[in-house]
Amino acid sequence: MMAFPPELLAMQLVTGLALGAVYVLLAIGLSLIFGMLTVVNFAHGAFFMVGAYMGVFLYGLTGNFLVSLVVVPLAVGGIGLVVERFLVRPLYGRGIDYPLLLTFGLSYVFIEVVRILFGLNGLPFSPPEMLQGAVDIGIGYFPLYRLFLIAATAVVVLALWLFIERTAFGLVIRAGARDPEIVRVLGIDVSKIWLVVFGIGTGIAGLSGVLAAPLQGVAPEMGVPILAEAFVVTVVGGMGSLVGAVIAGLLVGVVVAMTSLFAPEMAKVSIFALMALVLLVRPRGLMGRAGLMG
Amino acid sequence: MTVLDPPQSTARRWLGHVARHRVAATLGFLVLFPLIVPYEALAANILVLGLYALGFNLLFGYTGLLSFGHAAFLGSGAYGCGIALVHFGVGWFGAILIGTALATLVAAVIGFLAIRTRGIYFAMVTLALSMCVYYAFYQMEPLTGGENGLRGVNLQTIGVFGFQLSFLNPTVKYYVLLAFVGVAIWLFSRLLASPFGAVLEAVRENENRARACGYDVAATKLVAFVISGAFCGLAGALNALHLSIVPIETLHYTTSGQVVMMALLGGMGTFFGPFVGAATFLLLQDVLSVLTQHWQLYVGIVFILFVLFFPRGIWGSLLDRFGPR
Amino acid sequence: MIQKAMPTSRRTILKTLGGAAAVAAAGPSLFNVARAQAAPIKIGFPVPLTGPFGTEANDQVKAAQIAVKQFNDAGGFEGRMAELLVRDDRLNPGEAATRTLELIEKDKVNFLVGSLSAAVQLSINNVAKERGVIFNSISQSDAINEAKDWSKYTFHEALNPHITAGAVGRYAFSKFGKKVAFLTADYAYGHEMVRGFKRAGEGMGIEVLADVRHPIGASDYSAFLPRIQALKPDVLVLCNFGRDQVVSIKQATEFGLKRTTKLVAPVLLFTARKAGGDSFEGVVGGSSYYWRLEDKVASAKAFNDAFRAANGGAVPSDYGALGYAGVRSVLAAVAAARSTDTDRVIEAMRALKYDWYKGPQYYRGCDHQSVQSVLILESKHKDMKNADDVFSIAAVEEPDEAKLRTCAEMGHKA
């Protein structure tokens, strides 16, 4: 194996964490929806893409990135609410196959609608002025925006954790994930909780779209490859586990970064190899619970 | 379909006949199929991918295991057949056997590793391992053509029982492929009717009860997995001969996703469902993509409507409404 | 050809019956005569209308339609009009093969032009050559002209990686420095580009610091960049295409690579530049065509004007323009051969010396590669005439057969 200087290895590690940040955001949304609703959301990548386009569009209108960061998760989450209420809800209790087909169809619709509205070609987008450029982090120059991304992800994860662990509503969510029957017996309307959870999950997907837009610009197909990667992260972490999604997201980011250095052409397959390995040793992922999904 | 017109009892009797003579009915339909499809190449696609969905359905519909990795078997079948023909000069019949055998082998390895996981994790392990297969074929460029795909799987004529048939003639090609698919359908039907078929359904309905009855559940699942892989491998080999190329996309997970969609659309766990699903899926794409650039929009909407209003798939819904009780 | 092998197929009979019915309905026998003589010249045109290269593919269709219209406006060939049969190949070689079979077997096309990926053109080529149908490919690949895939029915209108990379390499290495790093999409197109650059650099004493191969369609390139940054190359060559190129250039810019290194792309796409925006600033690359060529070349002006007139003032993109050239070559050969017979059209195409839109071109005898000029473009961000004025033409490498790989190297006899 080639020898690389330690600064480069450290740099690669930071790069991996920044990469992992996007994975974490996507995976917690997926994991939340799966953990509560046992819906495998194949439209998650499309929600991500819609969020990115909305972010770019709003930025063009207002010139303020913060507006995009606040409004887009709410708007995409709103779409999520509508989708859950009218499309996903009729399917509860029919197994995981039907929501899967439905959300797959939905992703086609989203992508095509964006193509009709914004054209086939992608749109350019750059980080806002104050987040542009590279800063010296001691081991070399690193893009400021990617540092911001790591921080933003930490804030979102922390907020979500506080919401679930420290609020009354969060308590109901946790109870609902364990045993929806008991919650229903206690007189709580489970369908309302599921509605909100779907909204939160898709809202986070929209937010990660806005956050990823300055990294790559936007294109109608941008959610497709990243969906597969997000699934890998979710599964490696254990479906339904938020802590698992965070650990696995960062782990996958670092694994991708290190393979990119040592065996670059294997960067893409490495995450699938990692998933195979993890599942063969731990059949429910790193933090997966028994009982979920048989 | 005209099935909807007559009173229910007639329709039920009709479907009852179809169900009893399912092999004959399917074959009869497939023999006439090219006449109603816009062009032969599309009919052949439906035939081959219908077989792919049939093989997949053994695992998904009849055993209850959702795999996201079946592209690995379609792809190894196609590459096995293509490579044998292009690089080793094997005859067309031998090449089909080699392709099917390779797919069976790959299925045995993936199945052995994946069978201990369950539910969505099973789907993901099969996905991951099939992507490793994709990567392996991608990198073996001298043999597989890498990203450019394998070209030159060319048959001008094929010898059948001493007759030389022009394989370039689309009609001849369709019926040669159909001969193989027909045998596969017959085998498939015999398999379902056998005691093994009953064990599969027992596993699907209640794994613990099947285990309590003394069946080796893990071994049953593995055997089902391998047989399913073999059918898909045959489909792959036929596909290679049909298209005269093997695209690397054959192995990609999107091809695995496609078969899930076809099975669900047609009606999982039904004998005709896979062919109905493949035909609907491919016809819809084909016709819409000539009419409009936004065909994906309509395909997506059709999917959503089907899930909401025909949850058992096209054939499954027909059976529900008119099927024999 | 198939039509000849089966002179009275079922379809022919059906068609005749259909024609008779139409006549009976229409009444005047005038239609009958006109229709029987004026069987259209059908050109199958499979391109990826949907998917990531939809913009280019749509441009190709628009440009091809101009060639068809010009041919028809000039009276067609002995009263026979040309007709374009567009199919969406979805950027998938399997779908492309199916569509090609449809075009040949059902629609009975006379010729095929199209494709926008290496794998897809090889797939169409394989199906077409088996059935003896001329295919003029309009996207880049080295493999299609090599003896293994090539046939006498194969023509290649587009540039190929060897020519493009060679021209860009000769320009960039002499101007920006000899220490070179590659960031390459890991597939044939990328590898062929790297081979072209290395060949061009051999005599110039370049030093290759690294050839980093990334998976095609990677969604993020940041993990490949720190190593390249640490090597401090004079030139970083990005041998990738489309969205891969947009994202990798954007992220290389973000990492501050432009401070020490010149970014070079073998093929600088018009559409990618528009999708990439300001991050393309200063990037140098090659192209088969750029609309500002009209300032110097008369045929470019004529083509652009026709395109603008038909498309509300829009200018054609590089790959779009190839759709025009690909179809026009075939139709010009029909006119020259005074026949649609495949062998005679092949002879006529081989003999063409043409200037459709970018200056003089011709097909090389041994492999039917179109010998043509390569433009060296630099992305510009000021002094733009309008929103489409995104490049300046830094240099033009004139057509020269010596810049191609030799026929012997490609496996051809002559």
In a structure prediction context, what are the per-residue pLDDT tens digits for chain A, which is 294 residues long?
457 888 899 999 999 999 999 999 999 999 989 888 888 899 999 999 999 999 999 999 999 999 999 999 999 999 999 999 999 999 887 777 788 889 989 999 999 999 999 988 889 898 888 898 888 888 888 999 999 999 999 999 999 999 988 998 888 888 877 777 888 888 888 888 889 999 999 999 999 999 999 998 899 999 988 898 998 999 899 888 889 999 999 999 999 999 999 999 888 889 999 998 998 898 888 887 644 433
Q: Find the helix packing angle between B71-87 and B217-243, rounded to 10°.
A: 50
Number of domains chain B is built from: 1
Is A102 close to B303, i.e. CB distance below 8 A? Answer: yes
Q: Is residue C18 predicted with pLDDT exceeding 60? A: no
CA distance A272 to A66: 35
Mean pLDDT of all residues in C88-102: 95
pLDDT digits (tens, 9 = 90+) for A200-256: 999 999 999 999 999 988 999 999 888 989 989 998 998 888 899 999 999 999 999
Mean pLDDT of chain C: 90
Label residue B7 by pLDDT band (50, 70, 90): low
How near does any CA of chain B get to the CA of A283, in Å?
A: 5
Q: Is residue B60 predicted with pLDDT exceeding 50? A: yes
Q: Which residues pair with A47 in a beta bridge?
A: none
Domain holding B128, by residue range, is 8-322
Amino acid at position C48, single letter: P
Give me the pLDDT at residue C382, please.
86
Is A8 close to C54, i.e. CB distance below 8 A? Answer: no
CA R_g for chain C: 22
> Which residue in C92, C131, C189 is closest to B168 by CB distance?
C131
C91/A contact by beta carbon, under 8 A: no
- Going along chain C from its start, the domains and CATH numbers come out as 38-159+298-371 (3.40.50.2300), 162-287+375-403 (3.40.50.2300)
CA distance B38 to B174: 14
Return left, alpha or beta for B272; rule: phi > 0 is left, psi -120 to 50 is alpha, else beta.
Answer: alpha
Residues of C in contact with A146 (CB under 8 A): 222, 254
Establish if B2 belongs to a structural domain. Answer: no
CA distance C171 to A204: 47
Establish if B217 belongs to a structural domain. Answer: yes
Share of chain B above pLDDT 70, in %: 97
Domain holding A83, by residue range, is 25-222
Label residue B323 by pLDDT band (50, 70, 90): low
**ipTM score for this prediction:** 0.92
Mean pLDDT of chain B: 90
Interface contacts (A, B; CB < 8 Å) = 122
B119/A contact by beta carbon, under 8 A: yes
What values do phi and psi take at A275, rounded to 5?
-65, -45
E-assigned strand segments in C98-234 = 111-114, 134-137, 154-156, 179-185, 207-214
Question: Given a contact as 3+ CB pairs under 8 Å, which chains touch B?
Answer: A, C
Residue carrying structure tokens 């609410």: A81
**Nearby residues of C153 by Cβ (< 8 Å), 6 or more positions away:** C128, C129, C132, C133, C134, C135, C342, C346
CA R_g for chain B: 19
Give me the pLDDT at residue C5, please.
38
Up-side HSE of residue B247: CA atoms within 13 Å toward CB? Answer: 25
Is A267 close to C223, i.e. CB distance below 8 A? Answer: yes
Q: Please calculate the CA angle C394-C398-C404 and round it to the nearest 5 degrees.
A: 115
E-assigned strand segments in chain B = 150-151, 157-160, 163-166, 245-246
CA distance C5 to C26: 32
Lowest mean pLDDT among A61-65, B128-132, B273-277, C31-35: C31-35
B283-310 burial, b at 16+ Cβ within 10 Å, e below that, comes to: bbbbebbeeebbbbbbbbebbbebbeeb
Give me the pLDDT at residue C414, please.
60
**Nearby residues of A108 by Cβ (< 8 Å), 6 or more positions away:** B296, B297, B299, B300, B303
Mean pLDDT of all residues in C8-29: 42
Establish if B183 belongs to a structural domain. Answer: yes
* Domain at B297, CATH number: 1.10.3470
CA distance C372 to C403: 10
Establish if B1 belongs to a structural domain. Answer: no
Number of domains chain A is built from: 1
Closest-CA residue to A229 (of A263, A270, A182): A270
Lowest mean pLDDT among A3-7, A193-197, B243-247, C63-67: A3-7
CA R_g for chain A: 19
Neighbours of B273 (CB within 10 A): 28
Label residue C333 by pLDDT band (50, 70, 90): very high
Q: Is residue C350 predicted with pLDDT exceeding 70? A: yes
pLDDT digits (tens, 9 = 90+) for B170-197: 999 999 999 999 999 999 999 999 999 9
Is C122 close to B248, i.e. CB distance below 8 A? Answer: no
Residue pair A187/C220 in contact by the 8 Å Cβ criterion? no
Give me the pLDDT at residue A193, please.
87
> Which residue in B42, B247, B290 is closest to C93 by CB distance?
B247
Q: Is residue C192 predicted with pLDDT exceeding 80? A: yes
Residue pair A99/A41 in contact by the 8 Å Cβ criterion? yes
- HEC secondary structure over C323-343: HHHHHHHHHHHHHHHCCCCHH
Provide the 3-class DSSP secondary structure of residue C316. Answer: coil
Establish if B87 belongs to a structural domain. Answer: yes
A263-289 burial, b at 16+ Cβ within 10 Å, e below that, comes to: ebbbbbbbbbbbbbebbeeebbbbbbb
Q: Is residue C21 predicted with pLDDT exceeding 60? A: no
Q: Which residues pair with A218 in a beta bridge?
A: A123
Neighbours of B279 (CB within 10 A): 28
Residue carrying structure tokens 């695995």: B256
Query: C10-16, long-range: CB within 8 Å, 24+ apart, which pairs?
Result: C11/C108
Give me the pLDDT at residue C6, please.
38
C281-313 burial, b at 16+ Cβ within 10 Å, e below that, comes to: bebbbbbbbbbbbbeebebbeebbebbeeebee
Write out the two tokens for B30: 């497939």
Burial class (CB in 10 A: 0-12, 13-18, 19+), C146: middle
Closest-CA residue to A286 (of A275, A270, A271): A275
CA distance B77 to B71: 10
Show which of residues 93-132 on chain A sit within 8 Å of chain B, judged by CB atoms: 94, 96-102, 104-109, 111-113, 115-116
Amino acid at position B302, single letter: V
Label residue C28 by pLDDT band (50, 70, 90): very low
Question: Given a contact as 3+ CB pairs under 8 Å, which chains touch C?
Answer: A, B
Write out the two tokens for C158: 């587009």
Establish if A29 belongs to a structural domain. Answer: yes
Chain C residue with the nearest C-alpha to that of B78 = C94
Give me the pLDDT at residue C20, please.
42
Mean pLDDT of all residues in C17-38: 44
Establish if B272 belongs to a structural domain. Answer: yes
Mean pLDDT of all residues in C80-98: 95
Is A146 close to C222, i.e. CB distance below 8 A? Answer: yes
pTM as predicted: 0.91
Report residue C102 CA to chain centroid gap: 22
Establish if B64 belongs to a structural domain. Answer: yes
Residues of A in contact with B265 (CB under 8 A): 101
Provide the 3-class DSSP secondary structure of residue A33. Answer: helix
How near does any CA of chain A get to the CA of B69, in Å?
A: 12
Closest-CA residue to B240 (of B130, B99, B137): B99
Q: Please calculate the CA angle C296-C274-A116 and round it to the nearest 5 degrees.
A: 125
Report residue B178 CA to chain centroid gap: 13
> Which residue in B45, B170, B250 is closest to C105 by CB distance?
B170
